[in-house]
Homo-oligomer: A and B are copies of this chain.
Amino acid sequence: MAQSPAPGGRRAAKGKAGGSAPQRARPVTSYDVAALAGVAQPTVSRALRGGSVSEETRSRVLAAAERLGYVPRDAGRSLATQRTHRIGLVVADLRNFFYLGVLTAFEQRLAEAGFQVTLFREADDATLLARLSSGGIDGVALTSLTLHSSLPRELRERGIPTVLLNRESAHPDVDACVSDNIRGSRMVAERLVELGHRRIGAIFGPAETSTGRDRARGFRDALAEAGVALHPAACREVPYTHEAGHSALVEILGASPAPTAVFCANDVLAIGALNAAKARGVDVPRDLTVIGYDDMDMSSWEIIDLTTVHQDIDTMARTAAELLVSRVEGADEDLRRVVVPPRLVIRSTDAPVRAG
């Protein structure tokens, strides 16, 4: 940069300020405010942060700050306080609507607590760890985590407050806020049995995720207890995407005998399945019962009206935000794991099995 600070004083003259070029204006610093207010820089800091300053001085400083349009630079403050007031949110796929709800609730709660949210897309553990460690953030929420990722432990070792949101890890290294996926998926199984379904299929999520694992486990267990066998040819394990749900259902519809009901491990998959059913002219729920998991906002739309397991994302995200904030503020409590109870929401994509 060819803008050598003027010889002498810290923020003095600054050369001839350029002839006329619409150069990016030198930003206002606390020194400028101090000069205008006739005080020392630290006094500006104190006046603005609520330190011990006389009323008269404070108002003079505030007036000067106002007049110059002074806004403290984050970088300086962060360097001095070792705090950024920024929280990282790691998500696998922003296109997954589920995360919209998460992001919204999470951001909202954090904004209230004076934090900003910075997004991190899923990447390999090493890359992600480096990005998260660069100190740009005070804490992290991981929403897309595989069971055996070493990320939570590594973050813990680096002293970066972390919370798992929605998915959890195989090892209890950090705080977590999750739904009771086993219980939720059991409810689905019970409902299907109750409706008389006996040829039941499923589109499960990835086994290496806690939601994928638990929702499969609860579902299978409950069915087994009811003496109903899963229809093997009508089961798939796929990634949590709309496309995967779509094509999995197409495949499943080809099983013989065709299943009368399909459990989808999340709503994104379920909606993909509904679309596939529509494409194939399969009437839901007359010909096929579809039940999802999550209860995203759109699942209650009239054109979808999906029977699903309600997961209180709002509460989960807010709780995660609060856990994180308390950690960032130095709480040294034991590991916490908050489990939010699920609830079956019956809408119009499920129906009793048809005789014959």
Contacts and interface: CB of A to CB of B under 8 A. Distances in A.
Interface string A93-127: 01101001101100110010000111111000000
A279 B302 contact: yes
A165 to B, nearest CB: 16
A10 interface: no
Given A24-B159, A73-B135, A104 B100 contact: no
Nearest to A130: B71
A74 B302 contact: no
Contact of A74 (B101, B111, B135): B135
B274 A133 contact: no
A354 interface: no
Given A100-B97, A116-B136, A278-B303, A75 B78 contact: yes
Interface in A142-179: 157-159
A14 B120 CA distance: 34
B118 A27 contact: no
A355 interface: no
Contacts of A103: 94, 119
Interface residues of A, number: 51
Contacts of A341: none
A334 to B, nearest CB: 12
Contacts of A95: 100-101, 104, 297
Nearest to A154: B69
A135 B69 CA distance: 13
A134 B74 contact: yes
Contacts of A271: 301, 303
A74 B136 contact: yes
A27 B159 contact: yes
A304 interface: yes
A296 to B, nearest CB: 11
A134 to B, nearest CB: 5
Contacts of A27: 135, 158-159
Contacts of A304: 303
A227 interface: no
A327 B232 CA distance: 57
A117 B119 contact: yes
Interface in A296-320: 297, 301-304
8 contacts: A71-B133, A73-B135, A74-B136, A75-B79, A75-B135, A94-B104, A107-B119, A275-B303
The 5 closest A-B CB pairs, nearest first, are: A24-B159, A75-B78, A73-B135, A71-B133, A278-B302
Interface of A: 24-25, 27, 69, 71-76, 78-79, 84, 86, 94-95, 97, 100-101, 103-104, 107-108, 111, 116-121, 130-131, 133-136, 157-159, 242, 271, 274-276, 278-279, 297, 301-304
Given A74-B78, A95-B297, A279-B302, 14 more contacts: A25-B159, A27-B159, A72-B134, A73-B135, A74-B135, A75-B78, A79-B79, A100-B100, A107-B119, A108-B121, A116-B119, A118-B119, A271-B301, A303-B303
